[in-house]
């Protein structure tokens, strides 16, 4: 979800997909976490309340670990990673019992304390900041 540069540049590269799916630039700018999340951020999660288009949703899917992607449609619940070209198969028609919660805040960079101990074990192309 990391946006490596400013919002306008990110939107120039990715906005067409969102516009084709009913979310224009002004609507996207008004949502929380419009600039995504960074590797190393600690994400504060709430499992209560309602979910709205644009929320960052954490959910279990067919993958080993939960996904944390942006909610782009409510009925059915669909998500998309901000920097993914398209949706993954596990992001379509998500059921409420798969929800872990939604991001309600973040503490930038503090997660690097933990990541420092694990980054060396990862393949070289996966180390460091998100691309």
Q: What is the pLDDT of residues 64-81, one digit of tens each?
A: 889 999 999 999 999 999
Q: What is the structure's pLDDT at 101? A: 95
Cα pseudo-dihedral 44, 33, 102, 80, rounded to 10: -140
Q: Distance between CA atoms of 91 and 87, rounded to whole angstroms?
A: 6
Check whether domain 7-126 has CATH 2.10.109, yes or no:
yes
| Residues in a beta bridge with 93 | none
Radius of gyration, alpha carbons of the chain: 15
Q: Where are the beta strands (DSSP E) in the chain?
A: 42-46, 56-59, 67-73, 78-80, 99-107
Structural contact between residues 67 and 91, judged by C-beta atoms closer than 8 angstroms:
yes
What six digits make up the tokens of 15? 């906005």
pTM of the model: 0.78
Q: What is the structure's pLDDT at 1? A: 55
Region 111-123 average pLDDT: 74
Domain residue ranges of the chain, discontinuous segments joined by +: 7-126
Q: How many CA atoms lie within 13 A of 109 on its CB side?
A: 0
Per-chain mean pLDDT for the chain: 85
């Amino acid at each position: 979800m990391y946006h490596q540069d400013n919002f306008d540049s990110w939107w120039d590269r990715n906005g067409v997909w969102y516009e084709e799916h009913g979310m224009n630039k002004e609507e996207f700018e008004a949502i929380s976490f419009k600039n995504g999340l960074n590797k190393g951020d600690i994400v504060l999660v709430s499992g209560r309340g309602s979910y709205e288009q644009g929320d960052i949703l954490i959910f279990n899917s067919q993958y080993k670990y939960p996904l944390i992607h942006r909610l782009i449609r409510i009925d059915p619940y669909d998500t998309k990673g901000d920097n993914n070209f398209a949706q993954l198969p596990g992001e379509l028609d998500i059921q409420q019992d798969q929800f872990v919660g939604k991001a309600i805040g973040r503490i930038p960079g503090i997660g690097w304390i933990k990541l420092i101990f694990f980054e060396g074990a990862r393949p070289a192309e996966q180390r460091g900041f998100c691309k």
